[in-house]
Structure 1
């Protein structure tokens, strides 16, 4: 009986902990969207979340840990979408990848613009970070490449790791232009998708190569 009570108590504490974390992340998101990245401070998070500063530190760590957690969730959502078995065709998969990203960004453009600016300043996209956004995004792109190769769409002459880095680079360059206000979100999609398709064309089988050329012409019109 005593073990059961202890187990229930632990489960309750864990549930409360998760609720506090979700609350803090929600407040962090609102702060960034409404007031900009610099408004996100541990003290403001604590006040607006109704917790103490030590609680925020204990649950997350520092400010950059909170921002990194936001991006981890984003990459996880995209990864989940790419796990669908029907996403084998590189053209369709590229479109789904970008449409998922842009659906997220488009739902709250102010937040994502400010968050990406802050993320760059904190170095969350540095290549050498083992748990950083860059590496996680590269893994998503590698899955896309491996699936396309196994499906007979790519020759496999170019290592998936190199293709994945180029795919991510195309998306990242367009995202930076969007974050800085140089292009709108639809132009972001156009530029990123064309770049991704041209990357696939470098290793594409003849049928896919022809389809990519036709798609790029349509996108560029």
Structure 2
């Protein structure tokens, strides 16, 4: 190893440790923020309490994130697990694909309901950083791609605009999520209710050759929702 290379290696070591330490503090703050959101039912975090929970100085959250809102957005950006599970949900049929992604999203929300009901209450607050973080152009393009795959497979009637179709699917999704957040819909009915709505909307937009298959999906989704409602009734 040359002397110049050795100097670079020696200089890089402290910098590497500093970056690792910074990343560790960042992870601790995000973890603490998620715990506090879950416990308090609010995204209105106290930065002092957050720093204490994460075991860092009061200045550290500001230095690493800049603001309380940025901390909340950083929590929402932690989607690597969702992306990994989405990769496993890929299927050949574009309708099965979009319904599988619905299942994936619902599973994600139900894995931590106290946390996600809090975030969705913020979405329904009309304005704010949480709403814009969940409903953003990147998210819209992702879901539009799923709808365009259905159109490209010839499963939609001529004249059906994929963007308008996505908007109707979004309206249905949000109305169901509102019922869940309000406590009017139980957890076991959440996924089946969303999927039945999607199947009904897609069936209404289906081409002649795709209608029979989509009608079958409507029947399957309806049967699953009825079963979920029976299970809920037995549990009560």
TM-score interval, normalised by the smaller of the two chains: 0.7 to 0.9
Task: Show the 5 A alignment for 1:4-43.
Answer: 4-37=9-42, 40-43=45-48
Task: Show the 5 A alignment for 1:90-169.
Answer: 90-121=94-125, 123-124=128-129, 126=131, 129=132, 132-135=133-136, 136-155=138-157, 157-169=159-171
- Tell me if the contact between 1:148 and 1:154 (Cα under 8 Å) persists in the aligned partners: yes
Q: Which runs of 5+ in 1 are unaligned?
A: none
Task: Answer with 1 or 2: which has the greater Rg.
Answer: 2
- Give yes or no for the alignment of 1:187 onto 2:189: yes
Equivalent residue number for residue 176 of structure 1: 178
* CA drift at 1:58: 1.9
2: distance between equivalents of 1:79 and 1:165?
Answer: 23
- Tell me if the contact between 2:199 and 2:221 (Cα under 8 Å) persists in the aligned partners: no
Q: Single out whichever of 35-44 and 149-158 deviates more from structure 2.
A: 149-158
Of structures 1 and 2, the one scoring higher in RCO (CA 8 A, sep 6+) is 1
Q: Which runs of 5+ in 2 are unaligned?
A: 1-5, 224-236
* CA drift at 1:176: 1.6
* CA drift at 1:82: 4.4
Equivalent residue number for residue 231 of structure 2: none
State the superposition RMSD in angstroms.
2.6
Cα 1:125–1:160 change in 2 (3 A) is farther
2: distance between equivalents of 1:169 and 1:60?
Answer: 33
Equivalent residue number for residue 233 of structure 2: none
Equivalent residue number for residue 55 of structure 1: 60
* CA drift at 1:27: 0.9
* CA drift at 1:107: 1.7
* CA drift at 1:26: 0.9
Moved >6 Å (runs of 4+): none
Cα 1:80–1:15 change in 2 (3 A) is same
**SS in structure 2 of the partner of residue 158 of structure 1:** coil
Render the CA deviation track for 1:63-111: whole Å, top value 9, x for unaligned. 222222222334x654554456943424312331122122222222112
Q: If the length of structure 1 is used for normalisation, what is the TM-score? A: 0.82
2: distance between equivalents of 1:78 and 1:165?
Answer: 22
- Tell me if the contact between 2:30 and 2:71 (Cα under 8 Å) persists in the aligned partners: yes
Cα 1:203–1:38 change in 2 (3 A) is closer
